[in-house]
Amino acid sequence: MLTLAHYLVFAALLFSVGLFGILRRKNILMLFFSTEIMLNAINVAFVAIAHSLKNIDGQVFALFMIAVAAAEVAIGLGLVILWHRKHKSLDIDTLVRMKG
């Protein structure tokens, strides 16, 4: 039987993988994927806690976060496509060089 602790450990591991991806990668697209992994980890934690408390608030909040993440991906991927067309690279270092 899976308990709340199992789900929270899974969410923490998933969040750690996403955080490692953000800290380690140099590709903008991989940063977006890592951010999505972190948001999904938070959603797993919210749903698990809401289920254990027999409350629907965490599930509603997780659904709201999924909608926000979808909007973030839509806008972010549009920006990434424009960036790639202009600079022919998705490397983060080109963003750092853009600072004035």
Which residues share a beta bridge with 91? 27
Mean pLDDT by 10 residues, the chain (100 residues): 94 97 87 92 95 92 92 89 83 68
d(CA 45, CA 27): 28
DSSP class per residue in 7-41: HHHHHHHHHHHHHHHHHH--BHHHHHHHHHHHHHH
The pLDDT assigned to 42 comes to 95
pTM: 0.83
CB 27 within 8 A of CB 92: yes
